Amino acid sequence: MRSLNIAATGMLAQQTNVEVISNNIANMNTTAFARRRAEFNDLLYQNMIRAGSASSDQGTIIPAGVQLGLGVRTAAVYRISEQGSLNHTENTFDVAINGKGYFQVQLPNGETSYTRDGSFQLDPNGTLVTHEGYTVVPGINIPVEAIGVTINASGEVLVKLDGQPDPQNVGQITLATFANEAGLEAIGKNLFIETPGSGAPNVAVAGSPGYGSIMQGFVENSNVNVVSEITDLISAQRAYEMNSKVIKTSDEMMGTVNQLK
């Protein structure tokens, strides 16, 4: 019976759906986490009677035909790039992007990755780094003798030195945008890398047209809506149960046929 395999694909699809939802809930407090959504496609169809075929020698046409579906499959797990709320931390090296864009981070292998997690720190050399110690591009060093650090909306890093009335510019944080943000590949640690699906990065100064501005002393919260996730979880659970009932019903029908004498 086709219904056994069809319902099995439905159960597998809802299992994937629950896994995506559970990952969203698990990251509800992860800085700058973008929630995911599972999307599904129907599988191939078997044409028992093809629509538009001739039904007689007189040229009559079958208007609808008979197509039987074979179930469902996971088409994609889509990343929803909606900005989360901004949390005021008052930490000097916490920065958030208000609008579009990603910070650029240099990985140990020299490759550039991208993140919206702006909870930066200083390494022993005074270089601005992520919590994993990866350098924030373009590589900004804060002098040891600095008595104050200001990061303005355009990403300029200004340090106040003792005895000097004017702040000194030690670098500027730039932002990257992509034609298709959903095409970025997540590699963990709140980092992404570009792919052919995302397109090449477009780098510019924060506050430029199409780019967000930088806010010092803030971090971006996760955009996970817990109420929505719990509602989706209940729906996925009920869909899983209904597919399991289809398998149970198909089994009972096969048992009835098996008992025929």
* Contact predicate 19/53, CB 8 Å: no
Total tally of structural domains belonging to the chain: 2
What pLDDT does residue 67 have? 78
What pLDDT does residue 251 have? 86
- Answer yes or no: do 213 and 228 share one domain: no
What pLDDT does residue 27 have? 94
Q: Pairing relation of β-strands 202-205 and 86-88?
A: unpaired
User: How many whole angstroms separate alpha carbon 29 and alpha carbon 196?
Assistant: 30
- Answer yes or no: do 34 and 55 share one domain: yes
- Answer yes or no: do 216 and 124 share one domain: yes
What pLDDT does residue 213 have? 94
Per the structure, the complete domain to which residue 231 belongs is given by 2-81+224-258
- Answer yes or no: do 241 and 214 share one domain: no
What pLDDT does residue 39 have? 93
- Answer yes or no: do 102 and 187 share one domain: yes
Tens of pLDDT along 189-229? 999 999 999 999 999 999 999 999 999 999 999 999 999 99
- Answer yes or no: do 197 and 104 share one domain: yes
What pLDDT does residue 261 have? 66
What percent of the chain lies above the pLDDT cut of 70? 100
What pTM, to 2 d.p., does this model score? 0.83
3-state SS, the chain, equals CHHHHHHHHHHHHHHHHHHHHHHHHHCCCCCCCCCEEEEEEECCEEEEECCCCECCCCCCECCCCEEEECCEEEEEEEECCCCCCEEECCCCCEEEEECCCEEEEECCCCCEEEECCCECEECCCCEEECCCCCEECCCCECCCCEEEEEECCCCEEEEEECCCCCCEEEEECEEEECCCHHHCEEEECCEEECCCCCCCCEEEECCCCCCCEEEECEEECCCCCHHHHHHHHHHHHHHHHHHHHHHHHHHHHHHHHHCCC
Of 48-52, 106-110, 119-123, 135-139, minimum mean pLDDT range: 48-52
